[in-house]
A and B are shown apart, each in its own frame.
Chain A
Amino acid sequence: GAVVSQHPSWVICKSGTSVKIECRSLDFQATTMFWYRQFPKQSLMLMATSNEGSKATYEQGVEKDKFLINHASLTLSTLTVTSAHPEDSSFYICSAGTSGRSAYNEQFFGPGTRLTVL
């Protein structure tokens, strides 16, 4: 199957610092990558969609200046949480889409990154 990795798997940081999360497609080129946020006991909420070489499209209510997304190559997208605060503590999951990999065009999900802001 298609493998997507995320790094780090967990991070603890102080309030006010910035945190970068990487999402990599290991065995395929991802035309599109998606970033989700999941609060405890809640569903996945899409934050933004990014396409390689272009600006990310953010969902309504997501601050683009706070959650910086860079999709620099077909195998790497990064999410930077700038000036993180405790309310940003969450589980961040990326997914990647590619054509021709399966019959369903499903998204392949990374294992997630748990962010805790103190």
Chain B
Amino acid sequence: AQKITQTQPGMFVQEKEAVTLDCTYDTSDPSYGLFWYKQPSSGEMIFLIYQGSYDQQNATEGRYSLNFQKARKSANLVISASQLGDSAMYFCAMREGLGINEKLTFGTGTRLTIIP
């Protein structure tokens, strides 16, 4: 079974609208972390937001928020007031365990295109 599932290969969104990128995960480890990364065409991986399995509140970082529904094992990324610069690939990733030595498993990504 896939550990991280992103079901939206591509999305087109009008500038200034909000967009939700879906991510579901599968793990039996009670300690895990969920990450969202943005990858523009240049290739670098830009960290956006993190949600820990024990966090009581949904994470927020500026225009990014994470809709964490633990029982459903979903961690959707919400981008508010989208901008042209938000056009990129977006990857959801999971770390099983909380240590720095733990590896990340990535989803297949969603290509977001913002339309002016």
Number of chain B residues whose Cβ lies closer than 8 Å to a Cβ of chain A? 22
Residues of B within 8 A of A (CB): 33, 35, 37, 42-45, 47, 50, 52, 91, 98-101, 103-109
Closest beta carbon of chain B to A102's beta carbon, Å = 9
Closest 6 CB pairs of A and B: A97-B100, A109-B45, A104-B50, A112-B43, A43-B106, A105-B100
Q: Which residue of B lies closest to A38 (CB)?
A: B43
Q: Which residue of A lies closest to B105 (CB)?
A: A46
- The majority secondary structure among interface residues of chain B is loop
Count CB-based A-B contacts (< 8 Å): 57
Number of chain A residues whose Cβ lies closer than 8 Å to a Cβ of chain B? 26
User: Which B residues are in CB contact (< 8 Å) with A110?
Assistant: 44
Say whether A43 contacts B108, CB under 8 Å. Answer: yes
